Every structure is written in structure tokens, then in C-alpha cells.
Amino acid sequence: MIREFTSPDVVYLMLAARWTIGLALVATVGGGLLGLLIALARILPIPPLNWLAIGYINLIQGTPLLGQLFVFFFGLPLLGFSVGAWTAVALSLSLYASAFFGEIWRGALQSVPKRQWEAGAALGMTYRHRFTHVVLPQAVRIAVAPTVGFLVQLVKNTSLTALIGFVELTRASQIITAATFAPLQVYLTAAAIYFVICFTLSQLSRVLERRLHGTG
Amino acid sequence: MKHIVYLYEASSILGSRREALTCTLRNLRQVRQLDYTFKFGAIWRYSDLILEGIVLTLQLSLITMIIGLALGLVVALAANSPRRLMRVPARIYVEAIRNTPLLVQLFIVFFGLPTIGIKLGADTAAVIALSINMGAYGAEIIRAGIESVRRHQIEAGRALGLTSYQTFRHVVLFQAMKAIYPSLASQFVLLMLATSIVSAIGASELFHQGAFIESRTYRSFEVYTLITVTYLLITLGLRTVFAGIYWAIFVRRPIR
């Protein structure tokens, strides 16, 4: 019944990390697309749109992700969508990511000095042209490092999906723990796998920050 | 070992409860075209439990913030130390904590430590895991605060004939506090939201109260919506209080 924690288990955990990475990727793409809209809604000179975006960001950033996950997990079936855990989790994490991406990118867009807009206007460019050709390229340079930095948070937060039964790295660790009763080894192994993923991203973020900011 | 089984079961119970809910709904729709009616009223009876949860969550956040900051101060000083023997472990600690999920850290403390003879209750394990986690973030905030005070401010203080303690007390401390206050305030809110995670081991706080109410009412969606909204209210309340404190200390401050 109770077996040892052996190397096949480590391999199993590494394979389970695919779901962690996959989930983080889905949330990055979904959250990225929505986050772009949020950042625009926040920055366009249309007050009602600004308020809506601010409200959305406060709602997501002011509540625990665990609560959001549970609300989606139990709420979606009530709305008539009989979706699996995978969909509920992916949707929830995407919304979570979108609020943070929205804020990061708004900050980047607004940190481009106002005189850059004015210079564009002086050259006779339209609002759209000033945005896409003058402000956006500069904002992207500023935004890259914090965006990669947030991915670390996102990867770590995918672990919460284990609590509603989605099988990724943390849930797989729970399953192996139940079979081997070696929680210390199992969770330390899981932590090591998370560390490899997250530390790579943090270092990447640091390198990008130095490279894109150092030269100005 | 009991806890592991508990956790394993809790998770599968959750899944089966959701399936049951979906099933009931499907049947209702097929038979009578009925829609699910939201019943928040059923939860109202448990409002005192939610209030208790708010207090528990704030208590837990405050305790771990204090321990975490004390730990963070030690780590920040070690990380700035000229000695390699102190700097390297401090860096390893900060990187290890910041690059692994809190949930896994919590599981290591609560499920892992008993196997090497350190048995902890859920609440103690929660405080320890959260404090160790907070220590790493606190260290980064404090380090940034120390670095934010410019060198010439200290030199100016010394030039005015202040002792190094007086310089620290009247010149450095206030500026450093002002610089790190916003980060500390937002970190406290993040910590408060993160405490919800310790419900995974059954430590007493707001989210755990929610799980208890759910087990009594079977109104999963309503309960978790209400709990989530409660967290939002705590966040907004805390932000208002912190903004007020900032104004009272750093904005309205008379010149001494």
C-alpha cells in the first residue's frame, strides 16, 4: 500500500509541471488580450470607460484569487455552463492576470513623458499615429521587465488551483504524498521545480530590465 | 497523516459537491424548466461567524506582518553586510521564498515538518509559513527603504553636529519610513488576501469560516461570493485607513 518516494515519482511531478506551465501560458495569453483592453480603457480620454476599468482592477486586486477561483468554479454551472475544472480555472486565472497586466501596461503607457505626445502633435500626427508610432514603442520597452516579473506571480498562483482539484504540480504532489506518506520529500521536490521555473523568469526579468533601461 | 487524508478527502468532496449541484440543476431544468434561485438569506444566519472570520483574518495578518517585518529587518541587514557568510544565506532565503508558491511553503511546514518530528497545529503552522514568506518580501522593502535615503542627507546631519544616533532618529528614519510606507501598506493588503490560502490546512480565518458555512448550508456559490466580497470590503477599508495614516503622519506634519 504505502510505497517509497522514488525517481519515477519525481518524473511524475516534472510531468505534472507541464500543466502548471500550460495553465500559466493560457492565463498569460487570455489575460494579456483582456489586459490590453483594460489598459486602453484606463488610458483613453473617456471617463465612464476609465471608471469601469478602475472598478474592475479594484475588484480583482482587492479580493483573494482563491475566492475568485471558488466563485467561478461554483458559479459557472449556475449560469448554465457545465464546464470542467480546466475551463473554470483557466478563465479565472485569465481574469486575474488581466487586471495586473492592465495596471502594468497603463503604468508603462503613462510613464512615457507628456512631451512625447506633444512632439507628435507638433509634427501633425493624429492621436492614433502618435499612440502607435511614438508612445507605444517606448512603453513596450518599459513594460517588458515588470510583465515578465508578474509571470512569476502567475506561475506561483497556479498552485491555488490544486485546492479545487485541478491536477497540476501542487495537486500531483498531494496525490503522491497520499500514496507515499513522504510529504517533506515530495513538497520539497515540488518547491524545487517551481523554483527552477520562477527563478528563470525572475532572472530574465532582471536581465531585461538592465538591458532595456540601462541604455535609456 | 490524518491531515493528509483530510485534505485529500476535502478536495474530492468539493468536486463531488459541484457535480451534485450541476446534476440537480440539469434535472430541474429538464423537469420543470426551473432556474436556480440564489439564496443569500440562508447564509445570513451565519453573519456572526463571518464577523468572527474578519477579526481572525485581521489578527493573523497583523501577527504575521509584525513577525515578518522583524525577520525582514534582520535579513535586510544581513543582505547588506560586508561579510559573505551573512550575505549569501540572506540572498538564498529571499530568492527561495520569492520563487516558490506560498501554498507549497505552507504544506512543507504543516505536512513536511512532522515527519522530522516537528508537529505543529494548523494555526501555528499558518503563522510560521506566512511569517517566513512575509520576511522575504519585508527584507526587500526595507532594503529599498535604506537605499532610498541619500548619502548626503546623512552627511548633512553629521555636519550640523548631530550624533550618528540623532542623525538616524531625526534625519534617516523619517525619510526612510515615508519612502517605504506605501509599499508596506500595499504589502499588508496583499498579505491579508494571502492569508486566505491557509484555509487549505484548516487554520482559522475568514475563508475557513466560509468553508464551514458552506458545509452547513450547501450554498457553495453564495457563500464564496459573500466571502470574496467581504475580502473586498476589508481591502477597501484598510486602504482608506492607510491613506488616512499617511496623510496624518507625512502630509499634515508640522515642521519641527
Residue B1 has pLDDT above 60, yes or no: no
Asked if residue B15 is part of any domain, the answer here is: no
- Asked whether the beta carbons of B102 and B197 are under 8 A apart, the reply is yes
Asked if residue B31 is part of any domain, the answer here is: no
Put simply, the answer to whether A191 touches B108 (Cβ < 8 Å) is: yes
> How many other C-beta atoms lie within 10 A of the C-beta of residue A181?
17
C-alpha to C-alpha distance for A161 and A69, rounded to whole angstroms: 7
The helix/strand/coil state of B219 is coil
Pick the residue of B17, B36, B39, B104 with the most A CBs within 10 A to test the interface with A by mutation: B104
Overall fold of domain A7-214: MetI-like fold (1.10.3720)
All residues of chain B having their beta carbon less than 8 Å from the beta carbon of residue A72 are none
The ipTM estimated for the assembled molecules is 0.92
Asked if residue B6 is part of any domain, the answer here is: no
Put simply, the answer to whether B104 touches A68 (Cβ < 8 Å) is: no
CA distance B18 to chain A (A): 7
**DSSP per-residue string spanning A98-129:** HHHHHHHHHHHHHHS-HHHHHHHHHTT--HHH
All residues of chain A having their beta carbon less than 8 Å from the beta carbon of residue B15 are 85, 164-165
Asked if residue B10 is part of any domain, the answer here is: no
Of the candidates B35, B14, B209, the residue with the CA atom closest to the CA atom of residue A74 = B14
Asked if residue B21 is part of any domain, the answer here is: no
Closest chain B residue by Cα to residue A178: B4
Of the candidates A52, A21, A33, A170, the residue with the CA atom closest to the CA atom of residue A94 = A33
State whether residue A194 sits within 8 Å of chain B by CB. yes
CA distance B201 to chain A (A): 10
Put simply, the answer to whether B111 touches A152 (Cβ < 8 Å) is: no
Going A72 to A74 to A76 to A79, the CA torsion angle's sign is negative
pLDDT per residue as tens digits for the range B132-168: 999 999 999 998 888 888 788 888 888 999 888 888 8
Of B99, B105, B231, the CB nearest to A202: B99
Total of domains in chain B: 1
> How many other C-beta atoms lie within 10 A of the C-beta of residue B24?
12
CA distance A19 to chain B (A): 15
> How many other C-beta atoms lie within 10 A of the C-beta of residue B71?
20
CA distance A109 to chain B (A): 22
Put simply, the answer to whether B104 touches A159 (Cβ < 8 Å) is: yes
Residues ≥6 apart with Cβ < 8 Å to A165: A85, A171, B11, B12, B14, B15
- Classify burial at A156, counting beta carbons within 10 Å of its beta carbon; exposed 0-12, middle 13-18, buried 19 or more: buried
Closest chain B residue by Cα to residue A149: B99
Average pLDDT over residues B96-125: 96
Q: What interhelical angle do B84-98 and B47-79 show, nearest 10?
A: 150
All residues of chain B having their beta carbon less than 8 Å from the beta carbon of residue A70 are 220, 224, 228
Of the candidates A120, A146, A124, A122, the residue with the CA atom closest to the CA atom of residue A135 = A120
Instruction: Please report the pLDDT score of residue B177 as a whole number.
Output: 86
Asked if residue B153 is part of any domain, the answer here is: yes
Put simply, the answer to whether A183 touches B112 (Cβ < 8 Å) is: yes
Q: What is the pLDDT along chain A (216 residues), one digit of tens a residue?
A: 678 888 889 999 999 999 999 999 999 999 999 999 999 999 888 999 999 999 999 999 999 999 999 999 998 888 878 788 899 999 999 999 999 999 999 999 999 998 999 999 999 999 889 989 999 999 999 999 999 999 999 999 999 999 998 999 999 999 999 999 999 999 999 999 999 999 999 999 999 988 887 554
Of B21, B207, B225, the CB nearest to A66: B207
Eight-class DSSP state of B172: I
CATH number of the domain to which B209 belongs? 1.10.3720.10
Pick the residue of B14, B107, B231 with the most A CBs within 10 A to test the interface with A by mutation: B107
Put simply, the answer to whether B101 touches A159 (Cβ < 8 Å) is: yes
- Asked whether the beta carbons of A90 and A22 are under 8 A apart, the reply is no
Eight-class DSSP state of A130: I
C-alpha to C-alpha distance for B138 and B129, rounded to whole angstroms: 14
Eight-class DSSP state of B202: T
> What is the number of H-type helices and E-type strands within chain A?
9, 0
pLDDT per residue as tens digits for the range B57-110: 999 999 999 999 999 999 998 988 888 999 999 999 999 999 999 999 999 999
All residues of chain B having their beta carbon less than 8 Å from the beta carbon of residue A163 are 11, 103, 200
Instruction: Please report the pLDDT score of residue B32 as a whole number.
Output: 44
CA distance B73 to chain A (A): 23
Put simply, the answer to whether B99 touches A165 (Cβ < 8 Å) is: no
**Domain span holding position B221:** 38-251
